[in-house]
A and B are shown apart, each in its own frame.
Chain A
Amino acid sequence: MAYIYKKVKKKISVGKNPGEKYFAAMVSEGKASSKQVCELIDKDSTISAADAELLFRALGEVVSENIEMGRGVNLEGLGVFSPNLKTQGQSTADEVTVDDIKKVTVNFRPSSTLRKAMEQAPVKESSRFNLMHV
């Protein structure tokens, strides 16, 4: 069980050494849909897939409501979802206005369990993809 990486070519126009560069990038192995996740939970527990789906919907609502209030949600084992502002800086406090807000995002900080699981998985080169141009 390992992460597979592929080589990609990108044109970099900033930095000290711009030009065509090569990077390693993850090969996606697809996605487990929320329906599949619910079915797995159904198989492993007494909770039905339908109830698990309702739970995910309610989870989305609870996290959204907290984000609207500027508050994070800490789902131990998964991680913390918290709102974050990307803003432009000004030279004095009086110059700062709401117009300096460029974007509001949601940060996800994975739990130590997830982080350890990611760090421990080995990585190897893809045999399917020779070179991808991005």
Chain B
Amino acid sequence: MELEIIKREVFITDAQTTQTKYVLALPRKNAWDMETVSGLIAGRTTLSKAEVEFVLRELEDVMVEALQLGAGVELGALGKVEPSLSSAAVDTKDDISLENIRKVNLIYKPSKRIKRILKGLNFEINRRKPLSDNDNKGSKSEK
């Protein structure tokens, strides 16, 4: 199965110039929501859709607890989620303090199964729409 991709126009700006570049991107598709996913999972297990939704909400509580303790959480075939910090760089060890911490992030690491799938993907450029109208809004980025 091939994954459909589109060409997108992007604008890269710096202090003096704006360059137009063309990149490949995935077309926007609506993400499947909890209800849809719960129904699908219920179809593959002995659990009802309501039970699946309940477990996924319990998972949210477990994750909040673990992450607030600085622990990661393994999500089986999905992968794992870990807390991490991003901080500013300073010149000496003594200069580091809480003020250098910019943000606490959540890093997601896909499972081996998902990594294998990602490596094996084939792509096909959508030739019906050379620059897709719905997805090509000329996104801007700055250097």
Enumerate chain A interface residues (CB-CB to B < 8 A).
1, 3-5, 7, 9-10, 12, 19, 21-34, 37, 40-41, 44-45, 47, 51-64, 66-85, 87-93, 95-98, 100-101, 104-108, 110-111, 113-115, 117-121, 123-125, 131
The answer to whether A31 touches B73, judged by C-beta atoms less than 8 angstroms apart, is yes
Please give, as numbers and ranges, the residues of chain B lying within 8 Å of A45 by CB-CB distance. Answer: 54-55, 58
B45, CB-defined interface residue at 8 Å: yes
Interface of A is mostly: mixed
Please give, as numbers and ranges, the residues of chain B lying within 8 Å of A22 by CB-CB distance. Answer: 89-93, 95-96
- For the complex, give the distance between the alpha carbons of A99 and B64 in Å: 40
Interface contact tally, CB-CB below 8 A: 285
Enumerate chain B interface residues (CB-CB to A < 8 A).
1, 3-5, 7, 9-10, 12, 20-27, 29-34, 37, 40-41, 44-47, 51-52, 54-60, 62-64, 66-85, 87-93, 95-96, 98, 100-101, 104-106, 108, 110-111, 113-114, 117-118, 121, 123-125, 130-131
The answer to whether B78 touches A63, judged by C-beta atoms less than 8 angstroms apart, is yes
- For the complex, give the distance between the alpha carbons of A48 and B59 in Å: 14
The answer to whether B71 touches A51, judged by C-beta atoms less than 8 angstroms apart, is no
